Amino acid sequence: MPGPGFGGLREASKIVIDSLWQPPFPVAGGYRLTGSPPFLRLQRRSAPSPRPNIRPVRYPLSTITHPGDALTRRQKLIYVIILGTLTALGPFTIDLYLPAFPALQDDLGVTEAAVQLTLTGTIIGFATGQLLVGPLSDKVGRRLPLIAATTVHVVASLGAALSTDIGMLMVFRVLQGVGAAGGGVVAMAMIRDLFSGYPLVRMLSYMALVNGMAPIFAPVIGSQLLVVMPWPGIFWFLAAYGFLVILAVSVFIIETLPAERRKASSSTALQRYRAVLTDRVFIGVLLVGGMNFSGLFSYLSASPFLFQDVYGLDPQQYGLLFAVNSLGIVAAVQISARVVRRVGPQWIIAASTAAMLVMALLMILFDYLEFGFWGTAVPLWFYISAAGFTFPCVQVLALANHGAQAGTAASLLGATTFGLAGVISPIVGVLGIGSATPMAGVMAVCIAFGILFLWTIVRPRSVPSIS
- Taking the CB of residue 181, how many other CB atoms lie within 10 A of it? 33
**Alpha-helix runs per DSSP H in 141-277:** 143-161, 166-194, 197-228, 232-252, 259-264, 269-277
DSSP 74-115: HHHHHHHHHHHHHHHHHHHHHHTTGGGHHHHHHHHT--HHHH
Q: Does the CA dihedral 18-19-24-27 come out positive or negative? A: positive
User: What local confidence, expressed as pLDDT, does residue 406 receive?
Assistant: 67
- Taking the CB of residue 456, how many other CB atoms lie within 10 A of it? 10
User: What local confidence, expressed as pLDDT, does residue 371 receive?
Assistant: 92
Residues 6+ apart with CB under 8 A from 242: 89, 150, 151, 153, 154, 157, 179, 180
* Dist. CA 139–CA 411, nearest whole Å: 13
Instruction: Map out the domains of the chain as residue ranges.
Output: 4-70, 73-462
Q: Do 430 and 128 form a contact (C-beta atoms < 8 A)?
A: no
Side-chain half-sphere exposure of 16, counting CA atoms within 13 A: 28
Peptide bond into 67 cis (omega under 30): no
Query: Which amino acid, 456?
Result: T
pTM of the shown model = 0.65
* Dist. CA 306–CA 300, nearest whole Å: 10
**pLDDT tens track for 151-165:** 999 999 999 999 989
* Dist. CA 130–CA 133, nearest whole Å: 5
* Dist. CA 44–CA 13, nearest whole Å: 14
The CATH superfamily label for domain 73-462 reads MFS general substrate transporter like domains (1.20.1250.20)
**Alpha-helix runs per DSSP H in 229-268:** 232-252, 259-264
User: What local confidence, expressed as pLDDT, does residue 263 receive?
Assistant: 53
Could you tell me which of 364, 212, 385, 356 has the C-alpha nearest to residue 292? Answer: 356
Report residues of the chain scoring pLDDT below 50.
1-42, 44, 46-64, 266
* Dist. CA 383–CA 377, nearest whole Å: 10
User: What local confidence, expressed as pLDDT, does residue 408 receive?
Assistant: 75
Could you tell me which of 107, 396, 136 has the C-alpha nearest to residue 257? Answer: 136
* Dist. CA 79–CA 73, nearest whole Å: 10
* Dist. CA 194–CA 316, nearest whole Å: 41
User: What local confidence, expressed as pLDDT, does residue 55 receive?
Assistant: 40
User: What local confidence, expressed as pLDDT, does residue 18 receive?
Assistant: 40
User: What local confidence, expressed as pLDDT, does residue 334 receive?
Assistant: 78
Q: What are the two backbone dihedrals, phi and then psi, of residue 106, each rounded to the nearest 5 degrees?
A: -70, -45
Query: Which amino acid, 264?
Result: A
